[in-house]
C-alpha cells in the first residue's frame, strides 16, 4: 500500500479554540469541514485525544474554528501546534477577539471563523471526531485560505506526530 497517496487529499489549516471556565486553549488541525448545507448546518473537526484542547472541548461542548490564510507564519501555526496548552498560555502574543460565545478566535492571518457547539463525539482511535452545530460565523477578509499542500511546499512546515494527517514513511 502506497500511503503517500493520502498526502494528495486536500486539507486546510485551522486553529480550534475552546474554553474551560476562564482558561482558553487551542490547537492547529487539518481536519475540519462542513457536513451539511441546510439549517442547522453541521461541521466536523478531528482532534488528537492527547491534546489539552480535546479535553476542554469535551467539557465545554463549545469550539471555534479559525481558518488561517496563506500569510500565516510557521511561528503562528507552531504556536498552536507544537506545544501544549496545559503548560503554555496559547492566547498570549496572538491577535484574537472573543466571539459571541466567549471563546477566542484568531484575527491575525485568519479568513473567517466559525462558532460551534459539539453535539456528538465519534471515537476513531488516537483521535475523536466532533460533530459540531454551527452557531455563528464571520468572514474577516477575502484572503486566500491556507492549504496543507501550501504549508508543506511553500512555508516548509512539518507534520507533528499527533496530527491526524501524520504518516510515518
For residue range 123-133, list pLDDT tens digits in order.
Answer: 999 999 999 99
pLDDT, position 21: 83
For residue range 5-29, list pLDDT tens digits in order.
Answer: 766 778 899 999 999 888 899 999 9
The CATH fold assigned to 12-153 is: Pnp Oxidase; Chain A (2.30.110)
Provide the residue ranges of all domains of the chain, joining segments of one domain with +.
Answer: 12-153
Q: Which residues of the chain have pLDDT under 50?
A: none
Predicted TM-score (pTM) of this structure: 0.89
* pLDDT more than 70, % of the chain: 89
Q: Where are the beta strands (DSSP E) in the chain?
A: 14-20, 23-29, 32-34, 42-48, 62-68, 96-98, 104-106, 110-124, 127-139
Amino acid at each position: 500500500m502506497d500511503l503517500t497517496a493520502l498526502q494528495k487529499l486536500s486539507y486546510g489549516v485551522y486553529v480550534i479554540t475552546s474554553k474551560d471556565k476562564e482558561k482558553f486553549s487551542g490547537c492547529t488541525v487539518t481536519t475540519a469541514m462542513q457536513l451539511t448545507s441546510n439549517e442547522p448546518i453541521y461541521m466536523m473537526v478531528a482532534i488528537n485525544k492527547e491534546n489539552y484542547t480535546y479535553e476542554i472541548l469535551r467539557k465545554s461542548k463549545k469550539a471555534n474554528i479559525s481558518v488561517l490564510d496563506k500569510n500565516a507564519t510557521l511561528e503562528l501555526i507552531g504556536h498552536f501546534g507544537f506545544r501544549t496548552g496545559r503548560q503554555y498560555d496559547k492566547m498570549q502574543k496572538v491577535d484574537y477577539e472573543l466571539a459571541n460565545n466567549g471563546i477566542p478566535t484568531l484575527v491575525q492571518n485568519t479568513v473567517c471563523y466559525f462558532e460551534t457547539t459539539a453535539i456528538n463525539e465519534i471515537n476513531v482511535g488516537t483521535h475523536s471526531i466532533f460533530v459540531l452545530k454551527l452557531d455563528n460565523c464571520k468572514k474577516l477578509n477575502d484572503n486566500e485560505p491556507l492549504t496543507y499542500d501550501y504549508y508543506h511546499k511553500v512555508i516548509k512546515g512539518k507534520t507533528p506526530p499527533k496530527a491526524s494527517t501524520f504518516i510515518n514513511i
